[in-house]
Structure 1
Amino acid sequence: MNTCLARGTRFEYTALHRFLRFYGHADIDALNATAREEPSRFWAEVEDALGLTWHRRYHTVCDLSHGMQWPRWFAGGELDLYDNLVGRTARETPDQPALIWEGDDGDQRRFSYRELDDAARRLSTALARLGVCHGERIAMYLPMVPETAVVFLAAARLGAIVLPLFSGYGADAVANRLNDSEAMVMICADGYLRRGKRVDMLGEARAAAAAAPALAHLLVVPRLGTPWAPQQSGQWREWDYRSLVAASEPDMEPAVNGTATPLLILYTSGTTGRPKGVVHTHAGFPIKAAQDMLMCFDLNRGDRLMWITDMGWMMGPWLVFGGLLRGATLVFFEGTPDHPTPDRIWQLVERHQLTHLGLSPTLARLLMAAGEAGLPQAGQLDSLRVFGSTGEPWNEAPWQWLFDTVGQRNCPIINYSGGTEIGGGILGCFVGLPQKPCGFAGPIPGMLADVVDTDGGSLLDQGTDDEVGELVLRAPWPGMAHGFWHDGARYLDTYWSRFADLWVHGDWARVDADGHWFIQGRSDDTLKIAGKRVGPAEYESALVTHPDVVEAVAIGVPDPVKGEAAMCFVTTPKTTAEADAPWTDRERELIAHVAVRVGKALAPAGVHRVSDLPRTRNGKILRRVVRAVWLGTDPGDLGSLENPDAVDALHRYRESLQTPA
């Protein structure tokens, strides 16, 4: 597979190149060697390059006296994270745009750094009057509205902890997280717009609050302006968010906290058990997010960044903390990027003069399937320098479509893979340097990544090219999870129990002969057919090269001969579905199509056409849900689903196959 080099920004003009020259590193390989051999020097250079100001400077960059599972970063230090994020920029360049918001209906709101600073200081005062203090938990159940950034900032001032919740959660999912965290305050919206339809949030929030005894206050943001009266409850009191903030004077006191002060609890959904509350700290998550934005994305002061996400997913807080620490302008979008027309996302780029746009491979596939309607018009992407992508593996056809047809080979696709527990990325690409379709240029500096075999031996040290193994990390980093909320044992069991002193991330990865990395999917998704390990992405990539397939997902099912077999599910263009021959004919064609690409011995046992596939709001298809429905097992937490109807349809389809004709 040949490398590609975008014609846009040259490497010598990037922030990463300036970093290398300023701190005396010959190239990225030399920088990685410093991170490996002199980690304290490397991370001190990172925080210096980010321009952090300290109330009291740290005495140790990384204290490992409690083991590498529990590092203490910038030990002994104290900082005003709020001032680093907003305060100093509001003083230096008060009118610089900080945040631009566009609603599903096209409404817009804009905040300068001065205005964002004032709003956050007022909310800080209001929350303090309600009794919120250091260590208290604030649940944030909001769509992508400007108030989300204000809540993060106000909580950072108080040393309180925010738990951002997916705006599509129902009452039960919200209540579970309220009770796990024992949140004192929840900030919700009256609702939001989704594809032109009004979605109620206040009703769900009240139902969740009724099941959460620790909750004392419910603040309601009037996104839709729906008339409402504060509900009388002996348990919690309701407040109009904007009236409460407007009546509060801005808190002008310094907001100094220790480096290990908890900042966020980011909940991740699992297949079993209660959701995991990943804890991040003041000197962890923001530093890692901003470092990745500097080194991978070349995000600089005044750039404009939008990511299609939700604040309940890691990329939402990542956008806020990393973007503000880099002095950028954040662009929030409430709606769906293909509504009311498939080119809505390109309209957003032009209207808000975006320099950086983050989207999922699934969105690229959907826009590609829309044909001419999914393409940008001439000049719409003139401001854009960088595409970002995360959340799932790419297939080559949509990657090439985005790079060649949409971006005209001018914008690199910064493929980015990490996770909630990472606080950012493990692997990435770099602006101005070659990349391979669907791959990663390598580990992000400071991330000591490796690929190991079943015994924990390094496949890279063995000189084994293209062999799939477990992705692991051999050293801690600032954005690393500070454990799970009130569940340290589960944290250790999840990441540290398999190999001594190795973080096992749960992804399959391989490195080719040229040193480019590829993610092959989650290791618990991997199929083992007749003794051969195969990533589901291989089947999915093969299927979407067929003109009659829009999306695909592959799962493993028990097989009496091979032990396990691949079962695939696809969506097709509507025109194809309506005019199709009997599906059995098309199924045989698709099985043969895949067999040519993955090998006859690995051909799927079946290819089923479905109306939709279960996905999260950021476009990630949930294989575990498809597998659970197909095998009749518990699918686990479904609160993150964007389209629960897809699960119901899959159930009905499975039942129809089991019902005798």
Structure 2
Amino acid sequence: MAKCRDKIFGELTEMDIRDTGLSPSKAELFCKNLIRIVQSTQGSVNLWIKISQALLTPAHPFALHRLLYHTTYKNWNSELLGPPPAWTPALEDAKLTNIGRILVARGAELLASYKDPIASFNDFYQLSVEKPEVYWDIVLKELGLKFHERPSCILKSDETNFLGEPCPGGRWLPGAILNVAECCLQLDSEERGREIAVMWRNEGQDDSPISCLTMAELRERVCRVANALEGAGFRKGDAIAINMPMDVHAVIIYLAVILAGCAVVSIADSFAPSEIASRLKISKAEGIFTQDVILRGQRTHPLYNRVVEANGPRAIVLPARDDGIQVVLREGDMTWDKFLELTSTVDRPDDFNAVAMNIDDTSNILFSSGTTGDPKAIPWTHATPIKAAADAWAHHDIRHRDVVAWPTNLGWMMGPWLIYAALLNRASIALYNGAPLGYGFAKFVQDAKVTMLGLVPSIAKAWRNTQVVHGCDWFHLRCFSSSGEASNVDDYLWLMSQAKYKPIIEYCGGTEIGGGFVTGSMLQPQTLSAFSTPAMGCKIVILDDRGQPLPSDLPATGECALDPSIFGSSTRLLNASHYNVYYKGMPQVQGKILRRHGDEIERTVGGYYRAHGRVDDTMNLGGIKVSSVEIERVCNAAHEDVLETAAVGVPPAGGGPEQLLIVLVLKDSRKAISLEDLKKVFNAAIQAKLNPLFKVNAVGIAPSLPRTASNKVMRRMLRSQYGPVTCPKKSSL
């Protein structure tokens, strides 16, 4: 097969096709159809469109898909043309997208040289950056937000936020009064009330009907919980944590907390007690919703007990099973049923008047690891969800009555993102209560008729290795989306092959942005493991090694910085100086100081982008950003013979998600010690004290760690010397 990948179509033989796994008779027929397409099609891009759409099917061996893809682009000049597209939009389909509809109706009015939605996409992106008042007026109307008081303008170039802190990006929608949860729950017609809001299925019940809540039912349940919150004594502005799997109850609770004028504190259900405790302390949470245990197949994992160990505030505890709570509660805590009984004295428990909130009020407190070892507490305002929904509208093309699935958790930004991306665009949320790695989830995607499926690359890799997707009909998918970590070209070609080559919208952003800064579009050709455009309203600046901006129209690689005027992005932190974290020491461009992001990014020929991981001391493990310092603190104390460690995220051979390498220095360099034993010790410590999803992939021993003159560990040097991960034995650093 390696030789076949170096051939052009005129050199391929029927035996090459048979070698991919086709029978002789099927290979003969396939070759005849392939020859017909090759002879009648001009150009590599058009040829791949024909082959992928008219010839290849998910039932064909992936080796055949891969052979034809690489053969099609054998003579493609990436240095001149950029990376080759794996999917190219058709004009008629592009006209039906959300942006396409706007451009068909108003393109000539909005753009000076409008041609069609595909040809004029870049001009529309430029409009979103240069004329934010025009772009965001369009988006706000499309989302149909309910304002109690409308904003005085779209963007006010204030130098400070409402707390008096520097705000280089200005203030968005100043004076606006609304409640973003209320916007999600609007019932403007009887038909809207009957539409599906949330659908779900439990693991192990793969042949059972899918459970559903209509919009009317969702609103009633959210209002009931909001009334119970008032009955329990919670008041406007209180912080209330959610530490539970993302099921329909989590969605209801999330919306109810915000509807009642409180702020959700997002805590992942995988966190150890110490991580839960730090987040509860920083946010000053007054209460917490949690579950007694977590069910994963036939296994149960403690959850409520972790909250107790974290010395959490009063808890409302939901049962994981239908037969009730499986734990003994602390004094002052209450069961879910007892909590809901607090509405018994309310005249209309299934109705609730949303608490009107200032656009700058906190709706959600999320956390992102910094380089100091402490999680940054990032408040989402009532504007941040609009950014999430706008990205979904513009880039993921989520439409009315679509079905959106993204296995995630409210502890990470993609959990809230999923709620707003779906409900503010009048689509349905699809939730699978179980692990997304098996056949059950793949069948759920089929049965729920999911139209947009989001994932982290590790999931795609697992599906490919186990072939659990085989036989599932994903015909309804219009696109995939991928976020959280770097993807692998081969894995994502395989993923596209499973859905008749629907595009993958790569999506990269941050908790502090509320969405993406670089992504893809259904109106542009999409290549594998790359981004095709900055996000609407976001301008990317690439900095050189001296921190100075590189030309914006040329290929470049360097640190990514952002124009500060990003709708919905953070303007404050609860436990750090926002200005120092994101702006201090950054250069100015056209009179505006740039916003620090911290990824190393590459702009290719052809205008695509690739992310190359962090330039600071954080890494991304399984879609979770974590500080090197956090990991090192645990590893330094994990073994008596360890003097110090350095935690480094490095790419595997062939690209893909970062893998964790621990480079250590021994107290006694002469002592023999098993690297495999150290790896087990580090894994056990990290999974117990940080996150059970983290995994050490390799361990190396060095006589000392490379340091700067100011004594900082040079992790970038370690990343360069060790990566890709191949289980190093010794280092000569």
TM-score range, shorter chain: 0.7 to 0.9
- Pair 136,627 (structure 1): closer, same or farther in 2 beyond 3 Å: farther
- Pair 320,291 (structure 1): closer, same or farther in 2 beyond 3 Å: same
- Residues 1:511 and 2:597 are matched in the alignment: no
Query: Aligned partners of 1:166 and 1:614: how far apart in 2?
Result: 16
Query: Aligned partners of 1:59 and 1:455: how far apart in 2?
Result: 40
Residue aligning to 2:19: none
- Pair 173,318 (structure 1): closer, same or farther in 2 beyond 3 Å: same
Q: Which amino acid aligns with 1:86?
A: L
Query: Aligned partners of 1:109 and 1:87: how far apart in 2?
Result: 22
Query: Aligned partners of 1:656 and 1:515: how far apart in 2?
Result: 36
Structure 1 residue 87: Cα displacement? 2.8
- 8 Å Cα contact 2:179/2:357 also seen in 1: yes
**Greater mean deviation of Cα atoms: 192-201 or 138-147:** 192-201
Residue aligning to 1:566: none
Query: Aligned partners of 2:664 and 2:554: how far apart in 1?
Result: 30
Query: Aligned partners of 2:726 and 2:85: how far apart in 1?
Result: 42
Query: Aligned partners of 2:527 and 2:253: how far apart in 1?
Result: 39
Structure 1 residue 139: Cα displacement? 0.4
Query: Aligned partners of 2:575 and 2:685: how far apart in 1?
Result: 34
- 8 Å Cα contact 2:461/2:491 also seen in 1: yes
Query: Aligned partners of 2:306 and 2:284: how far apart in 1?
Result: 18
- Residues 1:145 and 2:242 are matched in the alignment: no
Query: Aligned partners of 1:139 and 1:190: how far apart in 2?
Result: 15
CA deviations over 1:628-660 (Å, ceiling 9, x no partner): 9867999xxxxxxxxxxxxxxxxxx999968xx
Residue aligning to 1:357: 453
Query: Aligned partners of 1:287 and 1:6: how far apart in 2?
Result: 29
How many residues matched? 554
Name structure 1 gaps, 5 residues minimum: 528-535, 545-550, 560-570, 572-607, 635-652
- Pair 330,508 (structure 1): closer, same or farther in 2 beyond 3 Å: same
**1:182-193 to 2 correspondence within 5 Å?**
182-193=284-295
Residue aligning to 1:3: 85
Q: Secondary structure at the match of 1:337?
A: coil
Aligned match for 1:377, one of 471, 487, 493? 471
Query: Aligned partners of 1:6 and 1:191: how far apart in 2?
Result: 46
Q: Which amino acid aligns with 1:413?
A: I
- Residues 1:95 and 2:194 are matched in the alignment: yes
Query: Aligned partners of 2:309 and 2:477: how far apart in 1?
Result: 43
Q: Which amino acid aligns with 1:42?
A: Y
Query: Aligned partners of 1:91 and 1:16: how far apart in 2?
Result: 28
Query: Aligned partners of 1:497 and 1:95: how far apart in 2?
Result: 51
- Residues 1:436 and 2:535 are matched in the alignment: no
Residue aligning to 1:119: 221
Q: Secondary structure at the match of 2:453?
A: strand
- Residues 1:498 and 2:585 are matched in the alignment: yes
**1:208-607 to 2 correspondence within 5 Å?**
208=310, 211-212=311-312, 215=313, 217-224=314-321, 225-228=323-326, 231-233=329-331, 237-245=332-340, 248=343, 249-282=349-382, 284-339=383-438, 343-370=439-466, 373-377=467-471, 380-403=473-496, 405-409=497-501, 411-461=502-552, 463-465=553-555, 467-487=556-576, 489=577, 491-500=578-587, 501-524=593-616, 540-542=652-654, 553=659
- 8 Å Cα contact 2:537/2:567 also seen in 1: no
Query: Aligned partners of 1:155 and 1:330: how far apart in 2?
Result: 19
Q: Which amino acid aligns with 1:103?
A: N
Q: Which amino acid aligns with 1:144?
A: M
Structure 1 residue 21: Cα displacement? 3.7
Aligned match for 2:152, one of 59, 71, 90? 59
- Pair 611,401 (structure 1): closer, same or farther in 2 beyond 3 Å: farther
CA deviations over 1:361-391 (Å, ceiling 9, x no partner): 1111222222xx334316x112111111001
- 8 Å Cα contact 1:306/1:354 also seen in 2: yes
Residue aligning to 1:601: none
- 8 Å Cα contact 2:687/2:694 also seen in 1: yes
CA deviations over 1:181-206 (Å, ceiling 9, x no partner): 11111000111212431122121122
Structure 1 residue 16: Cα displacement? 1.4
- 8 Å Cα contact 1:230/1:238 also seen in 2: no
CA deviations over 1:15-71 (Å, ceiling 9, x no partner): 111133445343222222223322223222221222112211110212232154463
Q: Secondary structure at the match of 1:134?
A: coil
Report the identity percentage: 24
- 8 Å Cα contact 1:395/1:540 also seen in 2: no
Query: Aligned partners of 1:275 and 1:256: how far apart in 2?
Result: 30
Query: Aligned partners of 1:78 and 1:33: how far apart in 2?
Result: 29
Query: Aligned partners of 2:703 and 2:411: how far apart in 1?
Result: 28
TM (norm. structure 1) is 0.77
Structure 1 residue 279: Cα displacement? 0.6
- Pair 476,196 (structure 1): closer, same or farther in 2 beyond 3 Å: farther
Residue aligning to 2:204: 105
Name structure 2 gaps, 5 residues minimum: 1-82, 115-119, 161-165, 344-348, 588-592, 620-647, 666-675, 706-724
Structure 1 residue 557: Cα displacement? 6.5
Structure 1 residue 232: Cα displacement? 4.6
Structure 1 residue 444: Cα displacement? 1.1
Q: Secondary structure at the match of 2:187?
A: helix
Q: Which amino acid aligns with 2:572?
A: G
Residue aligning to 1:31: 124
Structure 1 residue 125: Cα displacement? 0.7
- Pair 520,256 (structure 1): closer, same or farther in 2 beyond 3 Å: same
Query: Aligned partners of 1:19 and 1:255: how far apart in 2?
Result: 33
Query: Aligned partners of 2:704 and 2:258: how far apart in 1?
Result: 41
Q: Which amino acid aligns with 1:242?
A: D
Q: Which amino acid aligns with 1:358?
A: G
Query: Aligned partners of 1:34 and 1:277: how far apart in 2?
Result: 33
Query: Aligned partners of 1:31 and 1:304: how far apart in 2?
Result: 27
- 8 Å Cα contact 2:661/2:699 also seen in 1: no
